[in-house]
Homo-oligomer: A and B are copies of this chain.
Amino acid sequence: MNNKLKQLDEQAVQYIAVGAAVLGTGGGGDPHIGKLMALEAIRKYGPVRVLSPEELADDDLVIPLSMIGAPTVMNEKIPSVQQMAMPLDLIEKELGRKVTAIMPIEVGGGNSLVPVLAAAERGIPILDADAMGRAFPESQMVTFYLDGIDCSPITMADERGNGVLMHAIDGIWEERMARAITIQMGGSASICDYPVSGAQAKQSAIPHTLSLAYDIGKTLFESKDSKQNPIEALLEQLHGYALFQGKAVDIRRRTEGGFTKGEAVFEGTDAYRDRMMRLFFQNEFLLATEEGKSLAVTPDLISLLDQDTGMPITTENLKYGARVVAVGFPCDPKWRAPKGLDTVGPQYFGYDVPYVPIEELAGGKGEKL
């Protein structure tokens, strides 16, 4: 990884939108929309300072700000600065103090950049960290939950001016209530949850994921202009594995219970000719299989990249006939501990396969493209 990011300017937003969509494993919001929103905010209010977790004082107040809901809906209801400001206003009022830094709750083309709107408008920094190290569909799927940190108070808003504040007894109850409210709010909402102290952020968040997203985006953009294959460059950078290469021949996608759920089938091309991969998703890509055998399993990261440019493809924007490379990366070790696997392992999502680390599935090496 390169030096840590110090501020988010227009160039950094371009890189992060793409890099975060790779780590967002198909979810975490649309990178194009995240980029447009963040660019508009930066043009209006100026660049946003990036704070590294080590720079936090123990009693600082860090508040995650994100969009919750089905990506299908978020592509059509683009949040405004006002909608992002309302949950922050509500939570600051409830806590009786001002926020030190805003942080992304997850890595994703949308949710890595959504905090930029509020940070730019208020002139406060954004934290170079998140609580997943990737994207996941449900609100309790955060390192803060694994570490027993209180999720409350939780605040939410829609684009009309409806606002909600909740005290949930745990992250599971937050998810139930917040999801029900999100559905009523039309399928997407802005949300602040797990307000943490500087000490908690340093102990529990996954650090430097904005910097990592920036580096990934930079690699993909720069490889355009060099002779290196962008996907190879990326796999090298992230110690990842190529899982499959092919084209999308069947995509089933439905919006259900506030999620975008479904599966896609890919027919192999090139070295993968005569082979088929199935990819299962709930907002994020969660399981890749070939002939019933797992290629990669949640919580390890699965991303789809455009075969030519290496640009990431979200669950929502995957189109019939798309030529892709599926890649996999190891998740943060926190997710591989028992509570991590209970929370985000394949059984939780209803997939009847065991979790096997991607390093084992890939036999210790990635297949060559």
Shortest beta-carbon distance from A349 to chain B in Å: 20
Chain B residues with CB under 8 A of A160: 169, 173
**Contact present for B177 and A169 (CB under 8 Å):** no
**Contact present for A173 and B162 (CB under 8 Å):** yes
**Contact present for A164 and B162 (CB under 8 Å):** no
Q: Identify A181's interface contact among B161, B169, B181, CB under 8 A.
A: B181
Could you tell me the distance between the alpha carbons of A185 and B167 in the complex, rounded to whole angstroms?
Answer: 13
Chain B residues with CB under 8 A of A180: 180-181, 183-184
Shortest beta-carbon distance from A168 to chain B in Å: 5
Interface residue tally of chain A, by bracket?
10 to 19
Could you tell me the distance between the alpha carbons of A165 and B162 in the complex, rounded to whole angstroms?
Answer: 11
Q: Identify A169's interface contact among B161, B166, B167, B184, CB under 8 A.
A: B161
User: A162, A169, A185 — which one has the most chain B CB atoms within 10 A of its CB?
Assistant: A162
**Contact present for A164 and B165 (CB under 8 Å):** yes
Chain B residues with CB under 8 A of A177: 162, 164, 181, 184-185
CB-nearest residue of chain B relative to A165? B165
Shortest beta-carbon distance from A270 to chain B in Å: 48
In the complex, 5 of the A-B residue pairs with CB atoms within 8 angstroms, ordered by the A residue number, are A160-B173, A161-B167, A163-B166, A164-B167, A177-B181
Binding site for B on A (CB under 8 A): 90, 160-169, 173, 176-177, 180-181, 183-185
